[in-house]
Each structure stands twice: as C-alpha cells, then as structure tokens.
C-alpha cells in the first residue's frame, strides 16, 4: 500500500510534527524553572511580621520583591489574628488559614500580580 502524500511533503509534515513536539516539551519543562525558593536570614524572617515565615516562593519576580510583598502583607494584617483585604505592593493576596491549635495557626498566602506570584507560609502564635 502506498501513501497518497508525495515524499517531500511527507518529510515536511513529519518535520513539522517533530518541531511542534519539541516546542511543547521545552515549554513544559521550562515552566518550573521560573519558580524559585527564597532564602532569608532569621533576622529577616523576624522583621517580616509574623512569629515565623516558614517559606517564600516566587514565580516571574525576584526574591527581593517577594520579601517586600510578604512584609507589606503582614503590615496590612495589623494584628496577630488580622486579615489583609487590600492589594499590597500592587499584588492581590489570598490567605488559607489552618485551624488554631494550642494558641498557634499556620497559613499559606498566595499573592498575584498578572503572571507574577509570591507564595509564602507562616506560623503565628496568638
């Protein structure tokens, strides 16, 4: 059985499929490279607001900006049990707070500005 596609066109079609596959694979593998975990000293962690900032991860922004967003978010919260309901450093933040157990709770905060993300977790003693 012979193919109805001429050999040069068939090669071109196979090349197009191979290139498209390569682009998809490279795009998928490049996405996580945007994300970074930020390092900070114990002194910096205490200066950010809550009892303990346990992690900071940034996507499509710098760790310096991530730290500014975290600090501004906790300043916006005001008190230990307060919540921030406005934009900080032009980022919109949502907080998922765990149950309060033995006078402490842990939260995960996601702040977004376009495609940029700052995700941090913290533990607060109340």
- Domain range for 81 is 35-125
The answer to whether residue 15 is domain-embedded is: no
Instruction: Kindly tell me if the per-residue pLDDT of 55 is higher than 60.
Output: yes
CB atoms within 10 A of CB 9: 10
Asked, for residue 44, whether it belongs to a domain, the answer is yes
- pLDDT by residue (tens digit) across 17-54? 444 444 444 433 334 457 899 999 888 887 887 778 99
* Cβ atoms of residues 15 and 23 within 8 Å: no
Does 1 reside within a domain? no
CA-nearest of 98, 80, 90, 97 to 118 is 90
Q: Is 82 inside any structural domain?
A: yes
Is residue 54 a part of any domain in this protein? Answer: yes
Work out the widest C-alpha separation in the chain, in whole angstroms. Answer: 77
Q: pTM to 2 decimals?
A: 0.70
pLDDT band at 81 (very low <50, low <70, confident <90, very high): confident
Q: Residue 113 is inside which H or E element, if any? A: strand 104-113
For position 78, what pLDDT does the model report? Answer: 84
Of 3-12, 38-47, 108-117, which one has max mean pLDDT?
Answer: 108-117
Total number of domains constituting the chain:
1
Q: Is residue 16 part of a domain?
A: no
Asked whether residue 28 is assigned to any structural domain, the reply reads: no
């Amino acid at each position: 059985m012979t193919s109805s596609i001429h050999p040069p066109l068939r090669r071109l079609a196979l090349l197009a499929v191979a290139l498209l596959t390569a682009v998809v694979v490279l795009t998928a593998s490049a996405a996580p490279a945007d994300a970074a975990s930020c390092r900070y000293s114990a002194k910096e962690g205490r200066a950010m607001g809550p009892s303990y900032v346990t992690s900071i991860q940034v996507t499509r922004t710098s760790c310096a900006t991530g730290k500014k967003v975290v600090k501004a978010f906790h300043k916006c919260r005001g008190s230990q049990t307060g919540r921030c309901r406005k934009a900080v450093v032009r980022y919109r933040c949502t907080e998922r707070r765990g149950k309060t157990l033995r006078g402490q709770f842990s939260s995960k905060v996601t702040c977004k500005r376009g495609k940029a993300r700052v995700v941090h977790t913290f533990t607060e003693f109340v």
